């Protein structure tokens, strides 16, 4: 959407540089066959600054990539898997992935399935010692994090680009969940930054509101 706007890429890189791990769904991995979820990949010219930030904060050289999958249909030749990743899946699929993914990937089983609980996914990531987690989606994963009250903050870039839509093949920010009218996930705007015609918005989430008397008109 941002057309590789450098300020947007820098923001993505900075968020990755602050994270212990980047959590994505398998759909996002499959949709980006050459991507690395590292700070320097998304904004190479700031690579040395990102590395210095991580060093000063006592973090590993790169955040660990965490891929969530139920079916286990992952492209083993994906460069991000070749580089080593943590894959969280169901008890039954884990054994298959241990034999089909690169040896430097770690496969964790986090439930019987068919779908995993996002709380159990996060517990598995926390048990690995990771504390600051960044999710870059996609829409199905983000929807489940919000539905479970598991998302603390949302960093949203508003680009001066109108996309339109003729069908549902390009999902929005959230897919697979319908919150309104019954359930609101209120958020506060914590900061706004502007670069040219781009807005960089940071929201903080509060508890979900299910009581009708709490719902604003
Ligand atoms: N604009 C952006 O910033 C942005 C960011 C990210 C993604 N995207 C776009 O979003 C699209 C992909 O959408 P998506 O919603 O399919 O991506 P997604 O949320 O990353 O992936 C969905 C997949 O994640 C796994 N998954 C989700 N919930 C699960 C659960 N509870 N338990 C176990 N596995 C679970 C499943 O993988 P399996 O099918 O392997 O079981 C599911 O098919 C792509 O077009 C991508 O480019 C855009």
Categorize the per-residue pLDDT at 167 as very low, low, confident or very high, splitting at 50, 70 and 90.
confident
Mean of the pLDDT values across residues 103-123?
Answer: 96
Lowest mean pLDDT among 81-90, 156-165, 191-200: 156-165
Tell me the two tokens of residue 74: 């992952």
**Residue to mutate, 141, 142, 143, ligand 1, most ligand atoms under 8 Å from C-beta:** 141
Bridge partners for 187 per DSSP: 205
Q: Where are the domains of the chain?
A: 6-162+170-214
Mean of the pLDDT values across residues 51-66?
Answer: 97
Q: What is the pLDDT of residue 208?
A: 59
Ligand 1 centroid–CA 71 distance in Å is 12
Categorize the per-residue pLDDT at 121 as very low, low, confident or very high, splitting at 50, 70 and 90.
very high
Peptide bond into 202 cis (omega under 30): no
Return the CATH architecture of domain 6-162+170-214.
Answer: 3-Layer(aba) Sandwich (3.40)
Torsion region of 101: left, alpha or beta (phi above 0 gives left; psi -120 to 50 gives alpha): beta
Lining ligand 1 with CB less than 6 A are 24-28, 31, 68-71, 73, 115-116, 136-141, 144, 171, 175
Q: What is the pLDDT of residue 163?
A: 85
Scan for tokens 């003729």, then name that residue: 166
pLDDT in tens, 153-166: 999 999 999 988 88
Task: Give the integer Cα–Cα distance in Å for 207 and 209.
Answer: 6
């Amino acid at each position: 959407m941002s057309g590789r706007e450098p300020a947007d890429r820098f923001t993505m890189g900075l968020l990755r540089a602050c994270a212990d791990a980047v959590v994505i769904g398998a759909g996002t991995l499959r949709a980006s066959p050459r991507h690395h979820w590292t700070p320097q990949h998304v904004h190479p010219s700031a690579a040395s600054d990102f590395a210095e930030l991580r060093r000063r904060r006592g973090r590993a050289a790169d955040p660990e990539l965490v891929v969530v999958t139920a079916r286990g249909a992952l492209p083993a030749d994906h460069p991000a898997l070749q580089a080593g990743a943590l894959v969280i899946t169901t008890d039954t699929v884990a054994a298959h992935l241990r034999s089909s993914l690169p040896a430097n990937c770690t496969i964790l089983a986090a439930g019987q399935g068919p779908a995993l609980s996002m709380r159990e996914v996060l517990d598995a990531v926390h048990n690995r010692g990771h504390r600051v987690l960044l999710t870059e989606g996609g829409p199905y994963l983000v929807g489940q994090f919000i539905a479970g009250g598991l998302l603390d903050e949302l960093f949203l870039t508003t680009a001066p680009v109108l996309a339109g839509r003729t069908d549902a093949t390009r999902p929005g920010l959230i897919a697979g969940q319908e919150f309104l009218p019954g359930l609101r996930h209120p958020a506060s705007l914590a900061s706004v930054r502007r670069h040219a015609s781009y807005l960089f918005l940071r929201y903080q989430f509060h508890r979900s509101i299910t009581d009708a008397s709490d719902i604003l008109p």
